Amino acid sequence: MNAADLVVTPWGARLLGRAIPVALGRGGIVPPGAKREGDGATPAGVHRITGCLWRAERLARPCGWAEPIGPSDLWSDDVKDEDYNRLVRAPHPFSHERLARPDPLYDVVLLTDWNWPRAEKGRGSAIFVHSWRAPRHPTAGCVAFRRDHLLWIAKQIAPGSRLIVRG
């Protein structure tokens, strides 16, 4: 572990020596082998940051490697879908999550390599790093931060950076 790792625990996060409040899944932190689709849990372990998505019409590019998302961008969460746990485009016949949400939760999204790129069906889709709904308000399994903290984090890390979740 080093100072450039984003380390997350139930009590908060640390990056480059800075303490940051965090929100985690309503199902708590679970061992990676126990994570299941829809359980609301955040999987423990070392996860790599694989990308950054952002709503270009809502804010400035958060980092040089961010890719814009729009109304047709979706994330498949259907275990019957060949594209399970992947970015897909509308129209999409399987269950999915819309990335261009009406609220600001996904205005900036850091993607992780949880159950990706070759997803094991039912092991859980997307563990995103995104803005929280309210201070420490539980997520559906993702890692969430106050918007200004998330923007700071996005500027400090790069693809391949480590997100370490400890129970």
Q: Is residue 42 exposed (0-12), middle (13-18) or buried (19+ Cβ within 10 Å)?
A: buried
CA distances to 34, 60, 129, 153, 167 from 28, rounded to whole Å, are: 12, 33, 15, 22, 8
Does residue 112 form part of some domain? yes
Q: How many CB atoms lie within 10 A of CB 155?
A: 11
Does residue 1 form part of some domain? no
Mean pLDDT on 24-46: 97
Which tens digit of pLDDT belongs to each residue from 105-163? Answer: 999 999 999 999 989 998 999 999 999 999 999 999 999 999 999 999 999 999 999 99
Does residue 122 form part of some domain? yes
pLDDT at residue 1 tops 80:
no
Q: What is the pTM of this model?
A: 0.96
Structural domain boundaries enclosing 72: 6-165
pLDDT at residue 61 tops 80:
yes
Does residue 19 form part of some domain? yes
Number of separate domains in the chain: 1
CATH number, residue 34: 2.40.440
Q: What CA–CA distance (Å, rounded) separates 28 from 101?
A: 24
Q: Note the pLDDT of residue 2.
A: 86
Kindly give the pairing relationship between strand 45-54 and strand 162-165: antiparallel
Q: Note the pLDDT of residue 87.
A: 97
Does residue 137 form part of some domain? yes
Q: Note the pLDDT of residue 98.
A: 97
Which tens digit of pLDDT belongs to each residue from 71-119? Answer: 999 999 999 999 999 999 999 999 999 999 999 999 999 999 999 998 9
Does residue 68 form part of some domain? yes
3-state secondary structure 35-96: CCCCCCCEECEEEEEEEEEECCCCCCCCCCCEEECCCCEEEECCCCCCCCCCEEECCCCCCE
User: 72 phi and psi, to 5 degrees?
Assistant: -90, 0
Mean pLDDT on 55-79: 97
Q: Note the pLDDT of residue 91.
A: 97
- Among residues 47, 27, 45, the alpha carbon closest in space to that of 37 is found at 27
Q: Note the pLDDT of residue 3.
A: 84
